[in-house]
Each structure stands twice: as structure tokens, then as C-alpha cells.
Structure 1
Amino acid sequence: MPPKLVRVTPAKLATWTDCRRRYRMNYLDRPTPPKSGAWAHNTLGAVVHNALRAFFDLPVERRTPEQAASMVTRNWKGDGFRDVDQQAEYRDRARDWVAHYVEDTDVSEDPIGLERWVSAPVGRIIAEGRVDRIDVRDGELVIVDYKTGRHALTTDDARGSQALALYAVAARRTLRKPCHRVELHHLPTRSVAAWEHTDDTLARHVARAEESADELTVAGDTLAAGGDADILFPPEPGRQCSWCDFRRSCPEGSAVAEDLEPWSMLAP
């Protein structure tokens, strides 16, 4: 029998690459170890994503900067913020971000996908995930990923993103249109980092995903057969442990990284 295809998402692959213990805790351990509370920067990103999805659901004649800003207010959540004053500050920032984004973007066309789930077999994996937005331009699909992080992004970020490449592969098979262009839209800096993939560069991203999928499958099967969890899924202690959701359940991570406040990752 041929080997079973492995379902992978970009988040799953990234977790495996970053820290195998975190992968085990998140995807294999049952019950799942307790996670930390909400992070304000994640809440902020989710609000912006939800606001833009709601905005593009509006009729074209209502897609104005003012409507975009109002969608932030409508979708606002305060999880992880220090207090109401900090909430108000970042709510105003987010309103400005989406309003300026709409000013800079052609919003007269309906995207083919908004928060669209795509899934397709390719090689030894089934690549899948939820794409922020999928446009159609000149007969081809374009993958759009919104970003609200602290730092501006570059062409290298778009080129090297395994997530965007897998979205492109899955989208073209799901929607049956060619897809090579991927874009990172960084709202705080009003900038777009784009990359035009070739079939070869997409294939290289898929090959790396297949390698990770093979590794995580073997580790998971060995664990289920009685293998040593600490050997199969070692931690990767470092600065990133400060914002790991499973820090309290990981002695190595707790020992090397300081506690952060839930709002510590917000841009100053």
C-alpha cells in the first residue's frame, strides 16, 4: 500500500521546526497542557483580519475608509491589553491602519476568497490552511496575507515564506487557476512585500514541507508505540520561550526566558 498522505498546515510545520516539544504539546498530548492567556498583539491582529473580512463583504459602493475604520470598532476585543486606555490607543491605531489600507488599495473588485480554506494533495502531503484573501488578477490567483507585527517586511520574507508557497499550491488546485504571486501586506507601514514564484520555487517549498511531514509522522508514530517523548520531541529553549503558550509546562523554557506581560509584544 502507498504511504498515507500527511495533512499539514503552515502553522503545524512552523511549530515542528521551531520547537518539537511545543509541537507535541499542541498537536499530540491529550489532554492538551494548559496554555497561557491571550496576548494583546494576537488580539490586535485578529481584530484587523476580521475587520477587513467584514469590509470586503460590503457592497463595492460602501467600501470606504470610514467604513473600514468602523469595522475595527465593531470587531474590537480587549483580550490581553493592560487596561482600557491601552485598548483605546491600539483601537485607534488599528482604525487608522485599515482606513489607510483601503485608501492605498483597489477595493473595487470582489476577492475570490476571504478567509478561504484551501486543501490539496501534493506529493506526499495534503497542504491546507486558511488564506486571508485570494485575489484574481489577469486570470491568475494572488495570495494576500495581512500582517500587523512590529517590523516591516521585505521581498525576502515573501520569497522565503513556506506558508505563502503552500497556500499558492493548495489554492491553484482548489480553485483551478494558476497561482504564482504571493504578497505580505503590512498595515502599520502601508507596505507590500511581494514575490513571484515559479513552479520550481514552489516545488522546493513543497519538498521541504514533505521532509518535515516525514519527520513529524515518524516521531508521532514512535511516540504512540512507546517511544521516549523527551528524546523524540526535545525542547528548543531560547528567547522565544517567553511568549510560548506552554511555557508553564516546560521547565527548560521557564528556566531560560523571562515572564512577559500579555501586552509586551505590542509595537511601541
Structure 2
Amino acid sequence: MPRRLVKVTPAKLATWSDCPRRYRMAYLDRPAPKRGGPWASSTLGAVVHNALKGYFDLPQERRTEEQAADLVRRCWKSDGFRDAEQAEVYRDRAKQWVADYVRGLPPGMEPIGLERWVSTPTEKIVAEGRVDRIDLRDGELVIVDYKTGRHALGVDDARGSQALALYAIAARRTLRRPCRRVELHHLPSGEVAVWEHTEESLGRHLTRAEEAAEDLALAADTLAAGGDQDVLFPPSPGRQCSWCDFRRHCPEGQDAAPEVEPWATLAP
């Protein structure tokens, strides 16, 4: 019999790595446990992503800073914010971030992919996911990931990102072009973290992804056969438990870190 390939996304792999219990609740339990409410930082990130996609969907002659800022206004949601006043402050900040960002883009640039789904099979897994933006520069693909978090990111973040590495591997297979460069674009600071992968560094990321995929697939199969869910999917309590969507269902997580407000993870 051919070997069953495990289908994974960077989000699934990250969830498994962070906390097997959270992975079980998010992807295996049916019915799924009720999640917590929306986080303001997630809302903010989604608005910025949608506004930038809308910006590049416009014809070249309409791509202006004013249009970019207006797209933030049109995409805006206030889910997770403390109140209307706080939401208005961050809406204005996001408008400025996006306007400043598009001002610095090369004139006439045209991404080859926006919110593009890419996928690649290996001997053990099918790695897939949705990339914020894919550029074509000097005949090679470049993976661009937008960030709106509290802290600027550096070269180590770009180099160590399994998600970006898997996107690069999948993009070159999907779009049939070389892809080694990955970039993290942090809009609040305007900083860009860049890493140029080698075949060896991409291979290391892929090997780790395959090992994690085998572990999570084995745990899922054993659970389906009647295994103990707490043994197969133990919690990994830590400070991240403060903003876990499944905190209400996890006593260990509640003991590990205090509950925080939905707007606590916003960029200052």
C-alpha cells in the first residue's frame, strides 16, 4: 500500500509545537470546544491584510496612499477592542501604517500572487498554506509576510520561520520558479526582516515539519483507536496560555498564566 501523506499547514504545525492539547481541541475534537472571543490584535491584522490585498487589486492608476488608507476604513472591524474610542485610535494608526507602507513600494510593482494558496507533496507530507504576497524579482519568487504585532522582527525571525520556509518550498513547486528569499514586513515600525535560504536550510525546515507531522498523525490515529487524549495530547502550559482560545477548557492553562483582556496584545 502507498504511504499515506499527512496534509499540514504552518498553522497546524505551529499549534502542535506550541501545545498538543490546543491542537486536539482546534483540529480533532468534534464538536469542537467553544473558543474565546475575538482578539483585537487579530482583528487589526486581518484588516491590514485585507486592505493591502484590496490595494493591489486596484488598477495601477488608482494605487495611491489615500486609496490605501481608505481601504483600511472600508475593511475596518472593531471586534475585540475595549471600546469605540480605542478602536478609532487603532483604525487611524492602521490607516497611517498602510499609507506609509505603500508609499515606500517600488513604482509599478505587480505581485505575482496575493493571498495565494501554494502546496507541495514530499515523501511524507503535503505542505500547503496561503501566502500574503509573492513577488517576482530578477526571475526568482520572494515570499512576503505582513506583520502588525507588538514588536519589530529581525533576521533571526525570518531565518527561523518554518512557515516562511514551507511557503518558499511550496511556492516554487506551484509557480515553477526558484524561491529562496523570505521577508517579514512589520508595518508599525516599517522594518523588513530578510533571509536568503539555501537548499540545506530549506531541507532542515522540511525535515522538522515532516517529523512533527508524523508525530501529530500518530497521536491522532491512536486517539481515534481509543487512546487516552491526555496522554497523547498533553498541555504545554506557559505565558501563552493567557491568550489561548481554549483557555476556559484547560485547568493547567488557567493556573499557568493570568487571563488578559482581548486588547492586551495590541502593538503599543
Match of 1:74 in 2: 74
Q: Following TM superposition, by how much is the alpha carbon of 1:197 offset from its aligned partner in structure 2, in angstroms?
A: 0.5
Match of 2:15 in 1: 15
Offset from partner CA, 1:29-52 (integer Å, 9 cap, x none): 000000000000000000000000
Match of 2:29 in 1: 29
Distance 1:184 1:194 in 2: 7
Distance 2:105 2:232 in 1: 47
The answer to whether residue 196 in structure 2 is matched with residue 205 in structure 1 is no
Distance 2:141 2:44 in 1: 27
Match of 1:214 in 2: 214
Q: Following TM superposition, by how much is the alpha carbon of 1:107 offset from its aligned partner in structure 2, in angstroms?
A: 4.9
Offset from partner CA, 1:52-90 (integer Å, 9 cap, x none): 000000111111111111110010000000111001100
TM-score for the superposition, normalised by structure 1: 0.99
Most deviating of 102-111 and 27-36: 102-111
Match of 2:42 in 1: 42
Match of 1:161 in 2: 161
Match of 2:180 in 1: 180
The answer to whether residue 95 in structure 2 is matched with residue 95 in structure 1 is yes
TM-score for the superposition, normalised by structure 2: 0.99
Task: State whether residues 53 and 115 of structure 1, in contact with CA within 8 Å, keep that contact through their aligned partners in structure 2.
Answer: yes
Task: State whether residues 148 and 267 of structure 2, in contact with CA within 8 Å, keep that contact through their aligned partners in structure 1.
Answer: no
Gap regions ≥5 residues in structure 2? none
Match of 1:254 in 2: 254
Match of 2:127 in 1: 127
Gap regions ≥5 residues in structure 1? none
Distance 2:104 2:192 in 1: 10
CA RMSD of aligned residues (A): 0.8
Matched pairs, number:
268
**Local SS of the residue matching 1:188:** coil
Distance 1:257 1:123 in 2: 40
Distance 1:107 1:89 in 2: 30
Letter in 2 for 1:130: R
Give the direction of change, closer, same or farther, for the CA distance of 1:262–1:107 in structure 2 (3 Å limit).
Answer: farther
Match of 2:193 in 1: 193
**Local SS of the residue matching 2:2:** coil
Distance 1:2 1:217 in 2: 16
Q: Following TM superposition, by how much is the alpha carbon of 1:176 offset from its aligned partner in structure 2, in angstroms?
A: 0.6
Task: State whether residues 101 and 190 of structure 1, in contact with CA within 8 Å, keep that contact through their aligned partners in structure 2.
Answer: yes
Match of 1:62 in 2: 62
Offset from partner CA, 1:73-122 (integer Å, 9 cap, x none): 01000000011100110000000000000111115122111001111102
Letter in 1 for 2:64: T
Letter in 1 for 2:16: W
Letter in 1 for 2:7: R
Q: Following TM superposition, by how much is the alpha carbon of 1:123 offset from its aligned partner in structure 2, in angstroms?
A: 3.0
